[in-house]
Structure 1
C-alpha cells in the first residue's frame, strides 16, 4: 500500500528515511540547488547581509510584495509604484475579528471577563507579549518634486498653509534609532513608514507615482531587516492607502471611487493621511500598532504591555485637564487640530450621547488596526469627506469637515465598550428572548442596582452609591504574569520606562476617564421607569438619550463584586451552545431604532464583545516641547536631559521662518548625543 504519510508505528532507519524516499530525495536536491543559486545571488546583490544567511532566507512572513526597486530622479531616490485602480480603492466592508482573541477558548474568555482573574481554564493559554508594529507618518517638504506639486496645488486652490507642516529636521532617522533601543525586546515587530508621493515626471501614465524615500536609508537593505535583529522597515505611500468609505451598508462602485480620487489626490494634509491608516493591509501590518509622527521619540525601553496586551487591550494616554466638546459649526481653527477634534467629538455625541472627552497625549499612540477599520466603517461618509481637504482646513463645507482619526478611534473604542456593558445587562440579561422588560423585572433590576421597592418611595425613588471597593488594579500584575506577559511597571524608571494602568475597562466605565466617580446617583423614574417596555428602548435611553443615567447604572453595578464583570452578563444557556455562524461579531455600526436579532448564545456574544473593546487608561512620563527658536529650543533640550524618567518625547516645530537652519544644528548635536549608533541600513 502507498501512503501519503508515514503510518503510525512504521520504523525506518535514518538512512532509509533519507535516501530511499524519492519525494524526500528530490526535495533535498531541489533545496540544495535553489539554496546555492540564492546564495550566489545574495552575495552579489545584498552584500550587507552576506555574512548572515539565515535572516535572508526568512524575511518577515507578513511581506506580501517583492523588495523595492529604487528609482533616481535628479540625484534623489524614490520608490516607484502604481496607484490602486478605482475598483481597488474601495474599502472592504467586512468587520475584522481580533485574531489574538480568536485564539482563546470560549471557556477562557468567559472566565476572564466574568471574574477578572487569569485562572483555569486560561492558565494554559499563555498569550505572551503582543506583536506590535510601529507606523510612522512622514513627509520631506524640501523634496523638489513634493515642493513643486505642493506649490502647484496651492496656486490652483488659492490656499495658504504653514511651511512648518512640511519642514524636515531629520527627526525620522533619530526616532527610528530611539525605537531600536527602546523596543529591542518586542517580538516579531516591523516598522512601516508612510511617506508622501508625487507623480513620476518621466511617465505619461498618471497612475505611476514616486514615493518619497528618506535619503539616508538604503530601502533595499531595510526591507530585509538587520542581521542583528533590527526590524525591517517597509515603505508605504499615501496614495497606496486611499480607500473610499461610505455609510454602513452602502454599495460603492468603481465610478464612485474614481470621482473621489480625483478630488482628494494629491493630499498634503496629515489629517487626510491619518484617516487612511485604517486601510493598512492586515496581511502586512500587525493588528496592534503604535502610531508616531517623525518628531516623536521613545526615550527609554518600554515593554509591549506599555501599549497593548491581549488581555487588557490598548493602552490610551489622555490629558484629563484638556476636554474636547462637540462642535459642528466648523468655526474652530482648521489649520490646527481643533476643528477636527470638535467635529469628531460631535460625531461621537450623535452616536453615543453627549459628553466632553479628553484629548490624547500628542505622542506615540496605541491603536488596534481591526478597531480602526471598524471605526472607519461606522463613520464611513465622514472618513471619505476628510481627504477633501487636500491641505489641512482647506475644505470648509458643513458636514464635510476633517475627522481626527486618533481621537475618534480611541473614544469610539471606549464608547463601544460602554455600549457592550449596557447591552449585555439590559438587552441580553433582562430583555432576553422576549425583548421586553416588564414591571416585575424592573423591580429586580432596581434591586440589583442597590435600590429598594418600598411603596412609600415608589413615585420618585433615588439611589446614591459611593465609590466601590475593587481589587482590579491589585490583580493586574499577577494576571499579566500568569498570561506570560511582562508587566509595564519599572522598579528603576530611569533605566526602563514606568507605565501605570490607572484605569482598566474591567472596572466598567469611568465618566472622569481615570477613576471611579465619588458617588453614583440614579433616579429610577428617569433611568429605568416602572412600566413594561422593550429592552431596546431602555438600552437606547441609558446609552444615548440620558448618558448620565447609563454612567451611573454601570457605576452602581460595579459594586456587585470585587473584580470582573459577571453582574452585567446573562446566564449561560442550560446546554453548551456554540455561536451561530450567522451571528455578527459586533453590535450594529449605526444605532438602530429597533432591536437587532438576539445572538444564539447571548452570553458568549457579550463576553467576546467586552473583550474586543477592552482598553486601559495608562500613564507614562511624557514630555511635549514646542520649539520656537534655536536659543529656546536648546534650553528646552537641556531641560529634557535632566528628566531621566521621561518615556515619550515630542518635539513640535513652532519655529518662525528663518530659524530653521540654526535649529537644525541644535537638534543634530542633541540627536547625536542621545542616539549616536547608526541603524544597520543607514547610508
Structure 2
C-alpha cells in the first residue's frame, strides 16, 4: 500500500515510501484522473496522469505490525497482518480481525459516551456508561464536571491536622475483593464527549484572538492575573515503628511475598528511609515559589497506635496549630481518596496515591506534584509551571514507548517504572491511536486537577484496579498517572482540532456527511497549505515568543524553564518533527474522496464525517497529523484554519475554544538535575562542589535514594553531608516549622 505521507526523519520505513523531491497532494480530477499537485516556491503545477480506475474493493491491505515497545529486544511480529475494512462501522481488533464497531467521532462532542469493551466500541446510554464506570447514582458521572466541585474547596478548618475520624478502622478485605471484581467488569477505556468535558470551563475576552490568531492585545484585554498553584507532596516516614507495624500484615498477605521473605527484606529500606528531605523541600518552595504558592499539601498514611487508635503520620518538626492550616494541610489517604477507592485502603503504593491526587481539596485547579526528594534550586515564576496563555508546562525524556500488543509477563518484570510506562502506552494507543510517546521527566509535575480527573475517568477498569494495589507490582501493571495525564492532554488538544475541522467547519449543513462540494473545499484548503510546506520561516514559531507573549499579558516570564521546544499554539506536539510533502486524500480521508463518482446515486458511508474523523484521530494518526499541519500552513500564526467559523457557528466555536484552553500545554527542556545518591563522597563532589558554582546551579533537583550500605558509620557520614548540602541552600527555616 502506498501511504502517501512524508514523515521526515521520524518516519517508520515499514509504513512509508521514500520522500518525494517536492510536496504532492494526491487527489482525483473531475474525470477520475489522478491529479498530482506539486508545490514549488509557492506555485502549483498540475500533472495530469493516466486515467485511474477506482478500486474494485474498499479493503486496504496494511503492512505487518511490529511491537515497538522501547526495549533491547528485537520487535515481535504479530501472527497476522491487519486488514482495515474501510466501510462504515468497521475496524480492526488487536490481532487483525475485522470487527463491526461505532466510530468515536460523534462521541467527542455531541454523542453519548462510547465505551470500549475488549477492543470493540459500543454506543451506550448515559445510565449504562455510569454503571460501567462504577457510579450508578449519577448518570452523568462519567463526564468530567471538573475538579472544582463542592469537594474541591479550602481544606483549612475541615481536616484534622493529626487525627483520623474517631472510630475509623481500615476497610475489611472483603471490600477489596468486591472492588477487584467490580473493576474486572468495567471497560478499559471510554470516550468523554468534548462538550461534557468543557462544561465547567469559562472564557474571558482574550481567548478568541489568542487561540485563533496568537495575538494578545493588552489595550483591549488588560493584564491577566498570575495563577496560584498548590504544591502537593507524597511523604512517608519509614522510621516510624507504627508505620512498619501497620504495613506488616499487608506485606505478609501480599501476592509479592515469597517464602524466603526476600521481597519484604528488600523493598522497604531505601524506599521509606527519611533524610529530612521534606523539611528542606518545603523551605525551597517558600524561598523560590512563595509569591504564587497557594497551599502546601502533604499526603500521608494513617497508622495504628498500640492502643488501637488511628492517627496521621506527621513530621515531628511541623507545627501543629490552626495558624498554619490555611496554608499547609496534612491529608491522610482517607481524607482525599474517592468513596469507592477508599474501600481498598490502606495503600503503600505511590502510584496508587498519585492516581488519586486530583481529589485533594483546594480552591485552585492547579497542582505541582512533588516527592519529598525534589527541591527548587532557583527562583521560579508561576509560568515555569503553568500560565493562562500557554497552559501546563511539560518535560520529557528522550526514550519513547509504543506498545501495540498486550503487555506480557516479561514486561511486568522490567526494571523500575518501565512496566507502568509500557502498560499505559498500551492504553493510550488503544484510545488515541498508535504512536511513540516519550516518558515524562522525573521532577515535579504540573497538573490540572480537572484534566487529571478526566484522564483517570477515561480508563475505568485500570483506574479502579490501581486503587486496589497496596504495593507496586502486585498485579504487574498500573496506570502511570503522570505519563497518562501529560499525553492525554496532548491527544485531547489534537482531537479537539480535528473534530472542529472535520465535524463542524467542513460540514456546514451539519448532516454528518461530506458531499462533493464539501470534499472539494477540503482539497482546496490542503492545496493552499501544501504550498507552504517546507518553508520553515512561514509560520511564526510561538515557542520562541513565550516570554514576550507573557509580558504582553502582564504575566511574569519563566525564570528556570526558559528553553521552550513547543507550544500547543503552534499546533499539536505530534506535528513538531514531521514533513508532509505528500498527502493522498484517497488513502488518508476515504477511498474515492477526490471523485464525485462514488456518491452520485446514493450516500457513501465512507464519506461520513464520523468515519473520516475516526480515521484521522485514531485509526491513522499520521494522516491526522499531516492534515493538521497542512491546514495550519494556510496562516502565519494561530489555529484559525481549524476552528468553526465565528459568524456561522458561534456555539461550537465557543466549545472548541474552551477545549483549547483546557488542554493547552508547553513543552520545555527542564533546568533540572537528577542524582542517584549513593554515599557521602558522591554528594560532596557531585552536588556540594558543583552547586557552589553559580553557573552550574539547577532550577530543580531530585535526589533519589540509591544507598545500599548498612554500615552505621557510612550512613552517619552520608547523613551529615546531606544535611550540610541542604543547609547551604535552604538553611532558613520556614514558618511551618516548630523547631529547626
What secondary structure sits across from 2:493 in the alignment?
helix
Matched, 1:233 2:328: yes
Superposed displacement of residue 611, structure 1: 1.5
Superposed displacement of residue 79, structure 1: 9.7
Superposed displacement of residue 540, structure 1: 0.5
Q: Distance in 2 between matches of 1:671 and 1:554?
A: 48
Q: Which runs of 5+ in 1 are unaligned?
A: 1-59, 72-77, 226-231, 245-256, 453-461, 491-496, 578-600
Give 1:650's match in structure 2, choosing from 696, 702, 711.
702
**TM (normalized to structure 1)?**
0.73
Question: 1:137-161: CA deviations, max 9, x gaps?
Answer: 1111111111112222212222522
What secondary structure sits across from 1:425 in the alignment?
helix
Superposed displacement of residue 96, structure 1: 6.8
What is the match of residue 517 of structure 2? Answer: 440
2:390 touches 2:664 (CA, 8 Å); kept in 1?
yes
Q: Distance in 1 between matches of 2:167 and 2:722?
A: 33
Alignment of 1:549-588 (within 5 A): 549-574=623-648
Matched, 1:536 2:610: yes
Change (3 A) 1:190 1:378: same
What is the match of residue 218 of structure 1? Answer: 319
Superposed displacement of residue 465, structure 1: 2.8
Question: 1:4-45: CA deviations, max 9, x gaps?
Answer: xxxxxxxxxxxxxxxxxxxxxxxxxxxxxxxxxxxxxxxxxx
What is the match of residue 202 of structure 1? Answer: 307
2:170 touches 2:345 (CA, 8 Å); kept in 1?
no
Give 2:215's match in structure 1, choosing from 103, 117, 127.
117
Superposed displacement of residue 182, structure 1: 0.5
Superposed displacement of residue 632, structure 1: 2.4
What secondary structure sits across from 2:676 in the alignment?
strand
Give 1:310's match in structure 2, choosing from 366, 373, 388.
388
1:520 touches 1:556 (CA, 8 Å); kept in 2?
no
Question: 1:582-635: CA deviations, max 9, x gaps?
Answer: xxxxxxxxxxxxxxxxxxx22221122112111111223111001122322332
Change (3 A) 1:155 1:222: farther
2:564 touches 2:667 (CA, 8 Å); kept in 1?
yes
Alignment of 1:47-446 (within 5 A): 62-63=154-155, 65-66=157-158, 68=160, 70=162, 82=168, 102=202, 104-105=204-205, 108-119=206-217, 123-124=220-221, 126-157=223-254, 158=257, 160=263, 161-186=267-292, 189-203=294-308, 209-220=310-321, 223-224=324-325, 232-243=327-338, 257=340, 261-262=342-343, 264-281=344-361, 284-319=362-397, 321-326=398-403, 328-332=407-411, 333=413, 336-396=416-476, 401-432=477-508, 433-446=510-523
1:463 touches 1:522 (CA, 8 Å); kept in 2?
no
Superposed displacement of residue 202, structure 1: 2.7
What is the match of residue 507 of structure 1? Answer: 570
Q: Distance in 1 between matches of 2:166 and 2:399?
A: 42
Superposed displacement of residue 451, structure 1: 6.6
Superposed displacement of residue 237, structure 1: 1.2
Q: Distance in 1 between matches of 2:458 and 2:161?
A: 37
1:625 touches 1:651 (CA, 8 Å); kept in 2?
yes
Matched, 1:479 2:549: yes
1:371 touches 1:413 (CA, 8 Å); kept in 2?
yes
1:198 touches 1:266 (CA, 8 Å); kept in 2?
no
Q: Distance in 1 between matches of 2:199 and 2:410?
A: 38
Change (3 A) 1:112 1:344: same
Superposed displacement of residue 543, structure 1: 0.6
Matched, 1:470 2:539: yes
Superposed displacement of residue 525, structure 1: 1.7
1:442 touches 1:528 (CA, 8 Å); kept in 2?
no
Q: Distance in 2 between matches of 1:84 and 1:552?
A: 53
**TM (normalized to structure 2)?**
0.67
2:162 touches 2:313 (CA, 8 Å); kept in 1?
no
What is the match of residue 133 of structure 2? Answer: none
What secondary structure sits across from 1:485 in the alignment?
coil
Aligned-pair Cα RMSD in Å: 3.0
Q: Distance in 2 between matches of 1:625 and 1:182?
A: 21
Q: Distance in 1 between matches of 2:156 and 2:322?
A: 17
1:621 touches 1:645 (CA, 8 Å); kept in 2?
no
Q: Distance in 2 between matches of 1:523 and 1:621?
A: 42
What secondary structure sits across from 2:548 in the alignment?
helix
Question: 1:415-459: CA deviations, max 9, x gaps?
Answer: 00000111011111112411111233222212211279xxxxxxx
Of the two structures, which has the highest relative contact order with CA contacts closer than 8 Å and spacing of 6 or more?
Answer: 2
Give 1:630's match in structure 2, choosing from 655, 662, 680.
680
Give 1:670's match in structure 2, choosing from 712, 722, 725.
725
What secondary structure sits across from 1:486 in the alignment?
coil
What secondary structure sits across from 1:154 in the alignment?
helix
Question: 1:93-125: CA deviations, max 9, x gaps?
Answer: 9967597x52514xx3222211110127x8335
Give 2:690's match in structure 1, choosing from 630, 639, 648.
639
After the TM superposition, which segments of 4 or more aligned residues of structure 1 sit over 4 Å from their partners?
Answer: 78-86, 93-99
Superposed displacement of residue 340, structure 1: 0.9
Q: Distance in 2 between matches of 1:324 and 1:162?
A: 29
